[in-house]
Amino acid sequence: MSSLSVIIITKNEERNIRECLESVGWAGEIVVVDAGSSDRTVELARAVTPKVFVDAWRGYGAARNEALTHCANEWVLWLDADERVTQALAAEIKSMIALAGVDLVGYEVPRAAYFLGKWIKHCGWYPGYVVRLFRRSAGRFTEDKVHERLEIKGKLGRLKSDLLHFTDPNLFHYFEKFNRYTSLAAEELLGRGRRFRLSQLLLRPPWVFVRMYVLRGGFLDGIQGLILSLLSSCYVFVKYAKLWELSPSDERSKLQ
């Protein structure tokens, strides 16, 4: 499909990259921006697409914006290496691009997450709509340290078929990301002028657990739902603990 570009950013993703690329082999072009992988990610990507660029790491949003500069097509689908486009979603994307009016600038896609061997259907994770298909002229990524967003102006449509996200195959993988993401999140809060409050440690983590496990039905996802809800609560606790750690010494001393 010559009217679609796919962009993917990578760093040591040899375990995922081949299947990710194969799931979008029907696209007009695939652009990969790699942050200096030490494994076979670049080699495997170049076996599928010539548009593989190695760039110094400047953040998630910056890497995705760099990938956009290498796109030749107006429509763009952005993916992570641990995501897969199903045949049903591919067919829907092709159809929607062909039929899209000039007033539509993007589409939200439901995302199904595979966590510790189970598809998570509750916890507030599903359907987890996110804008993944958009007109390149209408969108740009924010350059937040973590959880960057696509900023897009205009009318959005919504697709029905799931994008598959193989998020965490095991807890070792989860905690590898956990430490990095909580540090980036704390740095981002500090950069925005957010100040540490003891209530952030005392109230926010239990509220996250109650919201995910009870109010959003995480208990229906079995042991994986319990683990995910608890770990998400811990994520919030550690994020704010790291904000305390980054705070000026005079502010930290008030709480000791």
pLDDT value of residue 145: 79
- The span from the CA of 212 to the CA of 228, in Å, is 9
The CATH number of the structural domain formed by 4-167 is 3.90.550.10
Widest pairwise Cα distance in the chain: 62
pLDDT in tens for each of the 256 residues of the chain? 678 999 999 999 999 999 999 999 999 999 999 999 999 999 999 999 999 999 999 899 999 999 999 999 999 999 999 999 999 999 999 998 888 666 789 999 999 999 999 999 999 999 999 999 999 999 999 988 788 889 998 899 999 999 999 999 999 999 999 999 999 999 999 998 999 999 999 999 999 999 999 999 999 999 999 999 999 999 999 999 999 999 887 566 666 5
Other C-beta atoms closer than 10 Å to the C-beta of 249 total: 6
SS3 track for the chain: CCCEEEEEEECCCCCCHHHHHHCCCCCCEEEEEECCCCCCHHHHHHCCCCCEEECCCCCHHHHHHHHHHCCCCCEEEEEECCEEECHHHHHHHHHHHHHCCCCEEEEEECEEEEECCEEECCCCCCCCCEEEEEEHHHEEECCCCCCCCEEECCEEEECCCCEEEEEECCHHHHHHHHHHHHHHHHHHHHHCCCCCCHHHHHCHHHHHHHHHHHHCCHHHHHHHHHHHHHHHHHHHHHHHHHHHHHCCHHHHHCCC
- The span from the CA of 31 to the CA of 75, in Å, is 13
- The full set of domain ranges for the chain reads 4-167, 170-253
Do 56 and 36 contact (CB within 8 A), yes or no?
yes
pLDDT value of residue 236: 97
pLDDT value of residue 102: 67
